[in-house]
Amino acid sequence: MVTLRAYEEIIDFITAGASPQAIIAFQPSQKTKNRVADLIYREKTGSLSPDEKSELDYYMQLEHLMRLAKARARRLARRRMKKA
């Protein structure tokens, strides 16, 4: 069984060339949410391996990037609505 790192789903989404509407609507899958929740819990309890710590850190960076992208996509969508 191949385990995808939590952040790979976001990278796949970005590389697919998403529209502003798709960026606004994007939500990680339940599987990814569960993985991140597990990583966070295990980080707090001190049972996270170095590789898992790296995975979690990278995911958190990408999540921040997605929040910024969603904010920009919302602004772009508002501008387009005003022009229409």
Provide the number of structural domains found in the chain: 1
47 in any annotated domain:
yes
pLDDT at residue number 1: 60
For 57, the domain range is 19-83
For tokens 């993985």, the residue is 35
pLDDT tens digit string along 25-69?
Answer: 999 999 999 999 999 999 999 999 999 999 999 999 989 988 988
5 in any annotated domain:
no
Indicate the SS3 state at residue 5. Answer: coil
pLDDT at 6 over 80: no
pTM score over 0.75? yes
pLDDT at residue number 2: 60
| 2 or 83, which is more confident | 83
Spatial contact of 73 and 24, defined as CB atoms under 8 Å apart: yes
| 5 or 35, which is more confident | 35
6 in any annotated domain:
no
